[in-house]
Every structure is written in C-alpha cells, then in structure tokens.
Chains A and B, each alone.
Chain A
Amino acid sequence: MARRASAARTAAITVVAWIAGFIIFFPILWMVLTSFKTELEAFSMPPKFLLFKWTMENYAAVQERSDYLAHVWNSIAIAFGSVLVSMLIAIPAAWAMAFAPTERTRGTLLWMLSTKMMPPVGVLVPIYLIYRDFGLLDTRFGLIALLCLADLPIVIWMLYTYFKEIPIGILEASRMDGLGPLREVVFVLAPIALPGIASTILLNVILAWNEAFWTLNLTTSKAAPLTAFIASYSSPEGLFWAKLSAASTLAIAPILVLGWLSQRQLVRGLTFGAVK
C-alpha cells in the first residue's frame, strides 16, 4: 500500500518543496535579475520578470560610481588575512589540546567559547577610542587584527573537533616505523589534518566576509570592505536599484558558492559540536 501511494506522495512533496525553496530564494533571484535591467526597468510597474532588455551596463557603472575593485580587495584582504593569521595562532593550540589534553583543557575550551558570546557593542567604545588613538581607524590592518581575535574561538574549536578525530594509533605506528617528528608531521599528520584545516578556513572566511558590525563602525572609505561599501547605497542620494543589485550580486556571488560547498562544516562550526 505504501508503495502505491508513494508516487503521488513524491510528486506532491516535490511541488511543495520547490515552491518553498523558490520563495526563500526569491529575494536573491530578484536581485540578480534586477542587476541586468536598466535603472528605468528596475522601477517599472508591473515588474518585469524575464522579458526585459538584458544589459550589462550596471556592472560597468558600479566600478565608475566608486572604486569598486578597491573595496573587493579590502574584503579579500580582511577576510583571508584575519582567518590566516588566526589559523597560525590556533593550529598549535588546537593541536596541543587535542593530542595532549590536561585537566584544564575542557575549561580552557569553554572559556574561549564564552569570549565569542560577548556582544560587540559591549566593547565598541574602548575599541573605537584605542583605534582612534593609534591611528587604526579605517585601516585594513586594524580590521584584520580585530577580526582575527574575534574569529579565534571558532577557529580553535573547529580545529579541535577535527584534530580530535585523528586516531592516535597512527602516530604510534609511524613512530614504530622510525619516522622522526618532522617527517611525522609532514608525511603522516598533515595529509590527515588538511581537510579539517581547509573546512575551518572556508567557514571562517565566509563569516569574516559578511561581518558587518566592526566593518561598519571602524571603516569609512579607504579600508571599507564590501559590507560597508554596499551600506553606502542606503543614502537617499537617488535610488540606484539596478546598480545596487549589480554591486550586491558581485559581492555575494563568490561567497555563496563557497557557502554551498561548505554546508556540512557550517553545522559543525556553528554549533560547536553540540549537534551532530
């Protein structure tokens, strides 16, 4: 009986699921479509879904309106810079905690996590004043340093959970085979640890790319990444919907692709192992 019902059931679920997916995805789809319209058609009522004159002019205009590529570069430098620096600090720590845990490891890990839960507004004033006094406002270096610290707890946690899964027996086996510590790291550990390290980098680059509290408060123009640059479209100096859409599409496209690739790690990284 279950078999006969299943074809109709699958068809019904397929329809419902596609409608739900379409509704949720619609704002992004609409933004992408709008980016290919002329400014006039972007406003037109009723809205045109596919039958409009497709144009690339907005993508060219985005660069002319302001130095778009400079903001792209800021985003890349800040997102990758902060994550790579925090990896350098985090890998040894996560490594030690996973392979040579002490009675204090659990407490240290939980304490690190709790620093991530401090609301940024709680330290906005001192950070702003420190940055002002040291000339770090609106600098890429300032944001890289800050986001590196803000990322650190999640980075350590993710790495720890990955390293924890490496079977310790493999180390003993390689020692029996007479491998020295350096060769042990290069030939045995690195290949096993690399996928975890890569996933950690991926998820944290996504989070840093989209970070929009510190980037909005600590940059004005020179070091402004895409989050802050897009925010400049909120000013009422005339509405440029098509250009806003083009700038936004370019800003989210690469990270959306990375995000799609990293959905599994997302759950793992953001729930700190509490959901498996």
Chain B
Amino acid sequence: MATQHTRTLGRILVAPSVALLFLWMIVPLAMTIYFSTLRYQLLNPGTERFVGAENYIYFLSDPAFITSLSNTLRLVGSVLTITVVIGVLLALLLDQFFIGRSLVRLMVIAPFFVMPTVSALVWKNLLMHPVSGVFAWVATSLGFRPIDWFAQLPMLSVILIVSWQWLPFATLILLTALQSLDNDQKEAAEMDGTGPFAFFFYIVLSHLARPITVVVLIQTIFLLAVFAEIFVTTGGGPGLATTNLAFLIYSQALLQYDVGGASAGGIVAVVLANIVAIFLVRLIGKNLE
C-alpha cells in the first residue's frame, strides 16, 4: 500500500524532526569535542589554542575526577538498589486487594511529580535539619542523638533524597508489569501448592526480570545526570564528598570558566552514558516488532 507518493509524503513529514534532532545532537556535540582540544579560558577570550589531548590527560588524572566518578557510581548504584528492592516489595503490596488501594497508590507515586529543587530543599530543611528537622525529633524521642545529615553523611543524604524521588517510578512500572501477570498462571501455581516463597522466586521474579532491567537502564540514564539535588543542598561539598561527574563538569565550566577541561569532562560523561544507552536501545528495539 505504501506507494511512491505516500513514501515521499512520509519523508517530508519526518524530515523536520530528523533535521532538528540531528542539529540538536550533532552541532553541540561537535563543538564540545572541538573545545575539548583547546586551552580555552572563558575569562581570557582570544587566547584559545590547540592543545590536543592535554585536557583529557588533565581531566582524567585529576584526583577530583576519580572522586567524582566514584561518587557517581555510588549514587547510581545505591539509588538503583534501594528503588528496585523497595519498588518490588511495594509493587507486590499494591498488587494485593486492600481498603483504599487507589488512594495509597496516589500517595506512593506523588514524589515523582515534585520538582527536584523542591524535594531537595524540603528534605534538607524540614526533615534532615539537625536541630529542627523531623528526623532529629524522631531520633531524640527514641533516645538517640540526632544526626547532622549533610555534615556527617552528605552522600547518604543525597542518596536518600534521590531514592525518594525515583521510588515511585520503579514501583509504578513494576506494578504495571505485575498486573499483567497471568491470572491463570497464579491459579495454576496455587493448585500445585506452590509456597509463597517459591511462587515469588520462580514466578514473580522471572516475570519481573524484564521490567526490572528496563527500570535499571532508564533510571541509570537519569541518575548519571543528577544535578539539581546536589546544586541546592551541598553544592558538591563538603570538599568533594557529593560532587558527581555532572556537578564537576558544571563547576569546571561555569564556576572556574575552564571551557576546555569541562568539555573534555563532558565527552567522558557522554561516553559513560552511551555504554548504558546501547543496552537500553537494543532492549527497546527488540520490542519494536
């Protein structure tokens, strides 16, 4: 049915999107690569000169890079673990029948719609403040000494905030997947006298393997780029304790005006994200007939 006529029309209709996305992706990326080979200080315009791989050598051998890379991996790894484990449990819980189910569901997914700057500041001030925060009050009431979250455990604090934001996403997707688990399969397992644990490990988890992979890949893409939560709470500190790769590149570019170094860092971040993206695109592609 696709005649020559409709093919041409189709191309014309798709062209603007392809052209814009191509420009959006290729032009800035090419510029980043170009800048990454220059010594380029924003404060001294006109002194740019080609330095080859020097920015990369400098960026990759900078101790701040190793620290920020390990912070990035800790942040991504911890948030993934927390959200997937609790997400599976919550999804199983919300899949049961109970009173007020749709209301609880709304409460559970709510954090996803809170803008990152709001959740970070509400957690930092209202909950985690060492004197007047709710956590401090809970700790004191139970006879513990309150924790000064952002001074003593800065990375854990950021991890908790980001996990809270992403838990609804994991829960909602896993819940959607659970609801498509065949009722026949559940009944068959019941008739066979499968115990709850065997049921969970052999049937539920194997059914969830694929959605969990999707959750992990998509979240990784976003978690590698966490920025606002760090920007408004710790500013990367104390020291470099909460500086992830995204924040390091930002501070190199817009606080230290080192365009060349920041660009080299940007390319490193693109390469890292692409490693994950390859797997994700392949997985989605398989689902596309």
Contacts and interface: CB of A to CB of B under 8 A. Distances in A.
B37 interface: no
B246 A231 contact: no
Given A124-B253, A125-B253, 15 more contacts: A20-B104, A21-B103, A93-B13, A97-B14, A110-B281, A113-B284, A114-B277, A119-B246, A125-B32, A129-B259, A227-B117, A230-B115, A230-B232, A270-B169, A276-B176
A139 interface: no
A12 B245 CA distance: 45
A60 interface: no
Contacts of A69: none
B108 interface: yes
Interface of A: 10, 13-14, 16-18, 20-22, 24-25, 27-28, 30-31, 34, 43-47, 89-90, 92-93, 95-97, 100-102, 106, 108-110, 112-115, 117-130, 149-150, 152-153, 156, 206, 209-210, 212-213, 216-217, 226-228, 230-231, 233-234, 239, 241, 244-245, 248, 251-252, 255-256, 258-260, 263, 266-267, 270-276
Interface stretch (B57-65, B197-205, B261-269): B261-269
Interface string B264-289: 01110110111011001101110111
Contacts of A121: 225, 227, 245-246, 249-250, 265-266, 269
B288 to A, nearest CB: 6
B13 A117 contact: no
29 contacts: A18-B104, A24-B164, A24-B167, A27-B119, A44-B132, A96-B11, A102-B2, A108-B18, A109-B288, A110-B281, A112-B21, A114-B281, A120-B225, A125-B31, A130-B28, A150-B24, A152-B17, A210-B116, A213-B228, A216-B117, A216-B231, A230-B115, A230-B232, A231-B231, A259-B112, A260-B113, A263-B172, A266-B172, A275-B214
Interface in B165-191: 167-169, 172-173, 176-177, 180
Interface string B184-227: 00000000000000000000000000110010001001001101
Interface of A is mostly: helix
A216 B227 contact: yes
B25 A118 contact: yes
A92 to B, nearest CB: 4
Given A17-B104, A93-B13, A102-B2, A126 B283 contact: no
Contacts of A97: 10, 14
B94 A17 contact: yes
Best-buried of A153, A210, A251 by chain B (most CB within 10 Å): A210
Contacts of B98: 10, 13-14, 17
B82 interface: no
A113 B281 contact: yes
Given A93-B13, A114-B281, A31 B122 contact: yes
B20 interface: yes
Interface of B: 2, 6-7, 9-11, 13-14, 16-18, 20-21, 24-25, 27-29, 31-32, 35, 90, 93-94, 96-101, 103-119, 121-127, 131-132, 134, 136-137, 141, 164, 167-169, 172-173, 176-177, 180, 210-211, 214, 218, 221, 224-225, 227-228, 231-233, 245-246, 249-250, 253-254, 259, 262-263, 265-267, 269-270, 272-274, 276-277, 280-281, 283-285, 287-289
A228 B232 CA distance: 10
B17 A100 contact: no
A135 B227 CA distance: 25
Contacts of A18: 100, 104
B288 A245 contact: no
Tell which of A22, A31, A46, A228 has the most Cβ of chain B within 10 Å.
A31
A172 to B, nearest CB: 9
Mostly helix, strand, loop or mixed at chain B's interface?
Answer: helix
B214 A100 contact: no
A27 B122 contact: yes
A245 B10 contact: no
Closest 4 A-B residue pairs measured CB to CB? Answer: A259-B113, A126-B31, A212-B228, A123-B28
Contact of A30 (B111, B126, B131, B270): B126
B104 A21 contact: yes
